[in-house]
Amino acid sequence: MRDYKAFVKYSKAGPRYTSYPTAVEFNTDFKYEQYLDILKQQNRPLSLYFHLPFCRSACYFCGCNVIYTAKEESKERYLHYIFKELDILKSILDIKREVVQMHFGGGTPTFFSAEQLEKLILKIKSVFHNFSLDAEISCEIDPRFLNEEQADVLTKNGFNRISFGVQDFDEKVQKEIHRIQSFDLTKNALKLVRDRGIKSVNMDLIYGLPYQTLESFTQTLEKILILDPDRLAIFNYAHVPWLKKNMRKFDENTLPSPDIKLQILEFCEKFLSKNGYKMIGMDHFAKENDELFKALGNGTLHRNFQGYTTKGGADLIGIGLTSIGEGKNHYAQNFKDMPSYEKAIEEGKLPFERGIKLNFDDELRKAVIMDLMANFRLDIRKIEKEFNIVFKEYFQEDLKALKEYEDFLDIDENYIKVNETGVLLIRNIAMCFDAYMKNISEEKKVFSKTV
């Protein structure tokens, strides 16, 4: 195993690049009327994201936009407004377009009852009739909140991918992060969906949590192999206590150091590759027969707010509180607070708050950064042809910044390829092409650490 002490110098604040420009660049200069015009002109296939934001209690590591409640009326009220939002969308979008992807995220989608989930699904299908035969229909699930009735509703309505939140099986870590979830509980939840024919199951893990060690995380991985998921997402914990109050509960002295985190990530790659999984992008692993692995091989892997996907070339519509949509040259985000969200809908408007219209430079850099993040290589000639530029001239300053990472790259006239070690620093490498990061000081605490 490498000596990662030297890598600590690369630990700096940086984006995860689920978008470019990143969400911190979204602004109110992008107007509602502009957004409507874009939606009316779209003609690509559709990807639908529904944000279901409620959780019963806080997981202290969580950076999601969540509302903690046990009130049944809160969920019913939210569904009422989601239905209204769908009705408004129906009057704007060309709803005959093919839906190739739909995802329920949270929060905890299965905090909603089976009856509520079915009402939501039926409402969606009453608006969007044209789901493709191979549509990816997925749901994030907290194994602590899943019963047979919910599993029945999801599977009978065409859900074919499930993502289970696990994070870590170590009891000390679970207690510290305020998420007690036994191996047996997770195993039983997995059985519920497997027995109903779900063939694609992902499990989320997080490294960098309090009290984690290489040894303890190894034990978690060994238990994961028993469960035999089809995919794994192994995320670097984003410690941003200035943004998320729950994270302030952690004693920062208990967090693993950057070199320990890199050891864990390297071990994950080697351990999982020996056991039938291959690394996909910077934080996903998939079995060799999985379509993510095939997409990586042929260069068609894409990255968006849901992580890595094979469904590129679709217009993403974000529905619900704080949801983000994406098109060819825009991002749009809904209101983050419930009163503003509800008020907009009551006025007959989409709950759009902010976003960004991409200019030429944004679109070019987005293509470069997303290729690097998704496929660990950049086809220079392809970029030159698509955007009619001379790469070395346009990115002259960026290539100078890239020299810091030359030991982790193979560069020639046609390609920039990230080597095996460079994969661990892919966020740093992508940042070299980020025009906005050049104007953000290291002291400005906006992003989590890259390492």
Nearest to 160 by CA among 193, 185, 122: 193
Q: What DSSP character marks residue 128?
A: -
At residue 366 the predicted structure's pLDDT band, cuts being 50, 70 and 90, is very high
Residue 230, pLDDT > 90, answer yes
Check residue 64 and give its pLDDT: 87
What are the structural domain ranges in the chain?
A: 17-319, 360-436
Residues tagged in the binding site annotation for [4Fe-4S] cluster: 55, 59, 62
Q: Residues forming the annotated binding site?
A: 49, 55, 59, 61-63, 106-108, 140, 167, 179, 204, 238, 324
What amino acid occupies position 30? F
**For residue 444, is pLDDT > 60?**
no
CATH number 2.40.50.140 given to 360-436: no
Residues in the chain: 451
Spatial separation of the C-alpha atoms in residues 149 and 272, rounded to whole Å: 33
Q: Residue 420: phi, psi to the nearest 5?
A: -60, -40
Q: CB-based contacts of 222: which residues, under 8 Å, 6+ apart?
A: none
Report whether CATH 3.40.50.300 matches the domain 17-319.
no
> In the structure, what pLDDT confidence band is assigned to residue 448 with cuts at 50, 70 and 90?
confident
Which residues, other chains included, contact 107 with Cβ-Cβ below 8 Å and sequence gap of 6+? Answer: 51, 52, 53, 54, 55, 64, 65, 66, 67
Q: Which residue has the tokens 């190894």?
A: 218
pLDDT for 31 equals 97
What is the rounded distance in angstroms from the CA atom of residue 67 to the CA atom of residue 317?
A: 22
pLDDT per residue over 368-380, tens digit each? 999 999 889 999 9
Of 147-161, 278-292, 338-352, which range is least confident?
Answer: 278-292
The pLDDT-based confidence of 169 (bands split at 50, 70, 90) is very high
159 pLDDT exceeds 90?
A: yes
Given a contact cutoff of 8 angstroms between Cβ atoms, the answer to whether 351 and 332 are in contact is no
pLDDT band at 1 (very low <50, low <70, confident <90, very high): low
d(CA 396, CA 340): 44
Mean pLDDT is highest, among 6-15, 159-168, 370-379, for 159-168
Binding residues for S-adenosyl-L-methionine are: 49, 61-63, 106-108, 140, 167, 179, 204, 238, 324
Say if CB 226 and CB 275 are below 8 A apart. no
